[in-house]
Amino acid sequence: MNFRLAHTNLNVLNMERSLAFYREALGMRVVHTKEAADNSFVLNFLSDADGLYQIELTELRDRTDPYDLGDNETHICFKTDDYDAAHKQHSDMGCICFENKKMGLYFIEDPDGYWIEIVRE
């Protein structure tokens, strides 16, 4: 028996805002979209250039209140081959929410409050 990671789901309040963030901040692109027949939700699957793993963004169209992420410190981590340029870009975007210089990492926050860790490749 063999298991492989497929995707991680994040529920978002505004799909267009989230797609723009993931495109600008992380270079992610939509590889697949699925809409419910009754128009109640839309799914966008994003991937990086390697295409081995996906993030599924789900927008429940009747949802109006922000999601309560509670105290769950779950996060997704991205490696970058140009840490300094990535840090500058995220700093310019104003989305860095935590940094640990001693460990050589920082976190950015997406429009819905999810934290994404950035580390050197």
**Which listed residue (56, 99, 109, 117) is catalytic?**
117
Half-sphere exposure of 75 (CA within 13 A, CB side): 18
Comparing CA positions, the residue from 39, 40, 48, 43 lying closest to residue 12 is 43
What is the DSSP code (8-state) at residue 5? Answer: -
Told to judge if 117 belongs to the known catalytic residues of this protein, a careful annotator would answer: yes
Positions annotated as catalytic residues are: 117
